[in-house]
Amino acid sequence: MKASGEDQKTVLAPQPRSAALPEMATAVLIVDEDRQVEYVNTSARDLFLPVEPIGCTLTALFTSCGATGGDEVFAEVDSGVASTPVRLRLTDDRLLDCTLRPLSSGGFVLSMDDVTTYVRNAEMAERDALTGLANRKALRDRLVERLTNVARTGQAAALLYIDLDRFKAVNDTLGHPIGDTLLRKVAERFKSATRDGDIVARLGGDEFAVIQSDTPQPAGAQALATRLVDLIGRAYAIDGHLLHIGASVGVAIAPIDGREPDVLLKNADLALYRAKAEGRGCYRMFAPEMADHLPARRALETDLRRALALKQLQLLYQPQYNLASKLIIGFEALIRWHHPTRGVVPPEEFIPLAEEISIIGAIGEWVLRTACKQAAAWPVPVTIAVNLSPVQFRGGKLAETVTSALAQSQLDAHRLELEITEGALLNDTNDVLKTLNRLREVGVAVTMDDFGTGYSSLGYLQKFPFDKIKIDQCFVRDIDSHVERQAIFRAVTGLAAALRMKTIAEGVETEGELACVGAAGCDEVQGYLTGRPISAEATMALLATTCSAEAA
């Protein structure tokens, strides 16, 4: 017991006031009973530069650096209550948390922590860095506060969800710097349309939200939504470009449309979804029936995102035959989605959806990497054809993705064929051609898909040396009994031959069609007659048989 008593005594032994303090990060000042500074450590001296604190009264010292809040420091002590830090703001906007404690030996010790960075970071955490608007977290926090107020006063508040229409196209075609400038201008327009008490938040990307209170509802929200649709839809002049985007707005009002933050957020989102479904560039007020049945497409959207995440998508492979050699020369990779309850969802249904919700890039990359990996394991080095969506050309990373997929799978670049539709060439043709040329340089072949449908501009055939033209199945169907189809077919194969491009006919289903496309000079065929799409395992097995047949 004695020993510990001695230890305690060691700790509590009076020390010279300044002994332990000089190097502390916290600024420490010791003042005498007259509140005159008697000691400062290095941090404190730095803090008040160029003023020398020793000998000043604290009041004079605070005044010298323009600190506001200095009186409260003493008020805390004078009132005798347990001292909590007092925040001082200096003229240069630094923020100091000050604690003043009386010393048993007389006078006071004042510790000051510079909390500027901490406070700014906390504020930043509430704010969207690009636009300075509140962020998603801050929106939710403010919504919780406002809803508490709604519950107390019964006065309604509105939540507006806003999506920009066509913003992605601006970002994709003109680049992020212009997209960012546009978002900042949009944020300014939000501020000009709202009032001081309203909370405007950017939730990320091109999604915004506003909380409106202290206004009679629903009139207030309707007026604001109308104004936002008009205002955001007005043209923007940025870096010499004239840009046009639009806004779709969904509105939910507390308490009628929900008293809980999550309910209100969900309902505003449902109303926004309705506004977008009904043509965009408008606003919709939430109505209970919107929640009754989550729209089927939205459910599909959720399922598709999940399918991608859970890798519920599959690739099937359809064989392609060379008509002269009668051998399999390759396969086309076809995506299949087997939905747990809906069964097989056709690509025509989910690919446009994937494009719209911007996950086509991820899906396309998955297809490419999976096809390369599986084809690399085939016993026969036949080609693998992969379809590209026009959307995949946006963002300028396609060539990198392809080379990376080749490197990762160790697939010979000459075995990869990319099938593109003319849709890819409709806009930004130059950038797309640059990408295609880069792919050609590494040895990848490029096929013009669906030839004969759409615009089928011959100009595209002149702009890029496609390796192959895939003639659309609408010209193949019943070609044996339609002379005009034969004529078109022959014209295309002739054209392709002159341009040194190969041709492949898709959708060949009968012997008659097969004979006819062969007679018309087509090089390759693909269709139910020569082989339906089959699983990866079946593809392996089929190639193994071919292999042994050749060996025999």
Partner 1 sequence: MSDELYRLVYYSHNTVTGDADAVEAAIISILAKSQVNNQRVDVTGALMFNSGCFAQVLEGPRSAVEDVFERIQQDDRHSDVSLLAFDPVAVRAFENWSMGFVGASIGDAARYGVLVNGSGFDPAKMDGDALFDTLRGLAMEEEHPTD
Of 7, 33, 71, 188, the one binding partner 1 (CB under 8 A) is 188
Nearer to partner 1, 33 or 239 (CB): 239
Q: Which of the ranges 41-49, 226-234, 264-272, 296-304 carries the binding residues for partner 1, by CB under 8 A?
A: 226-234
Nearest CB to partner 1, comparing residues 225 and 432:
225
Q: Are 447 and 524 in contact (CB under 8 A)?
A: no
DSSP state at residue 482 = -
Closest CA to 415 of 497, 331, 335, 336: 331
Contact range with partner 1 by CB under 8 A, out of 136-144, 224-232, 315-323, 487-495: 224-232
For 259, the 3-state DSSP assignment is coil
The residue among 193 and 496 lying less far from partner 1, judged by its C-beta, is 193
C-alpha to C-alpha distances, 547 to 324, 359, 381, 383, 385, nearest whole angstrom: 18, 38, 10, 15, 20
Subset of residues 233 to 252 that bind partner 1, contact rule: CB under 8 A: 234-240, 242
DSSP letters for 322-362: ETTT-SEEEEEEEEEEEETTTEEEPHHHHHHHHHHTT-HHH
Give 188 or 412: the residue with its C-beta nearer to partner 1: 188
- In angstroms, the CA 54 to CA 37 distance is 5
189 binds partner 1 (CB under 8 A): yes
Residue 96 near residue 115, CB atoms below 8 Å: yes
**In the complex, least distance from residue 237 CB atom to partner 1, rounded to whole angstroms:** 4
Please provide the DSSP assignment of 142-174 as one string: HHHHHHHHHHHH---EEEEEEEEESHHHHHHHH
Q: Give every CB contact of residue 114 below 8 A, 6+ residues apart in sequence.
A: 27, 47, 94, 95, 96
- Shortest reach from residue 178's CB to partner 1, in Å: 12
Q: What is the C-alpha to C-alpha distance for residues 351 and 412, in angstroms, rounded to an integer?
A: 28
**Cα 90 from Cα 69, distance rounded (Å):** 9
Nearer to partner 1, 136 or 185 (CB): 185
Largest CA distance in the chain: 115
Give least dist CB 180 to partner 1, A.
15
Q: Answer yes or no: are the C-beta atoms of 377 and 540 closer than 8 Å.
A: yes
Q: Which residues contact 8 (CB under 8 A, 6 or more apart)?
A: none
Q: Is 230 in the site for partner 1 (CB under 8 A)?
A: yes
Stretch of 104-112, 181-189, 266-274, 433-441 contacting partner 1, by CB under 8 A? 181-189
**Nearest distance, CB of residue 165 and partner 1, angstroms:** 17
Least distance between partner 1 and beta carbon 227 (Å): 7
Give the shortest CB-188-to-partner 1 separation in angstroms.
7
Q: Which is nearer to partner 1, 31 or 178 (CB)?
A: 178
**Using rule CB under 8 A, residue 192 touches partner 1:** yes
Comparing CB distances to partner 1, the nearer of 189 and 502 is 189
When the beta carbons of 74 and 236 are compared against partner 1, the nearer one is 236
Q: Cβ closer to partner 1: 82 or 242? A: 242
Q: For residue 471, how many other CB atoms are within 10 A of its CB?
A: 27
Can you tell me the distance from the alpha carbon of 55 to that of 50, in angstroms, rounded to the nearest whole number?
14
477 DSSP 8-state letter: T
Least distance (Å) between residue 163 CB and partner 1: 20
Chain positions 193 to 212 lying near partner 1, rule: CB under 8 A, are 193
Q: Nearest distance from residue 234's CB to partner 1, in Å?
A: 5
The distance of closest approach from Cβ of residue 207 to partner 1 in the complex, given in angstroms and rounded to an integer, is 21
Piece of 39-47, 232-240, 256-264, 483-491 that binds partner 1 (CB under 8 A)? 232-240
- Is 412 a residue that touches partner 1 (CB under 8 A)? no
* Strand, coil or helix: 303: helix
Q: Which is nearer to partner 1, 230 or 260 (CB)?
A: 230
**Beta carbon of residue 210, minimum distance to partner 1 (angstroms, whole number):** 16
State how far the Cα of 335 lies from the Cα of 332, in Å rounded to an integer.
10
**According to the binding rule CB under 8 A, does residue 231 interact with partner 1?**
yes
Q: Please report, for residues 262, 270, 286, 296, 551, the alpha-carbon distance to residue 292 in angstroms, rounded to integers and kept in the order given.
A: 17, 11, 12, 11, 63
- Calculate the alpha carbon distances from 161 to 104, 229, 283, 284, 469 in Å: 59, 12, 9, 10, 46
Site size with partner 1, rule: CB under 8 A: 16
Residue 436: closest CA among 480, 473, 474, 392: 392
38, two tokens: 């008697």
Q: Is 223 in the site for partner 1 (CB under 8 A)?
A: no
In the complex with partner 1, which residue's Cβ is closer, 78 or 230?
230
Span of 132-140, 182-190, 348-356, 393-401 interacting with partner 1 by CB under 8 A = 182-190
**Span interacting with partner 1, options 146-154, 186-194, 251-259, 260-268, rule CB under 8 A:** 186-194
Is position 180 an interface residue for partner 1 (rule: CB under 8 A)?
no
Residues 500-529 that bind partner 1 (CB under 8 A): none
Binding site for partner 1 (CB under 8 A): 185, 188-189, 192-193, 227, 230-231, 234-240, 242
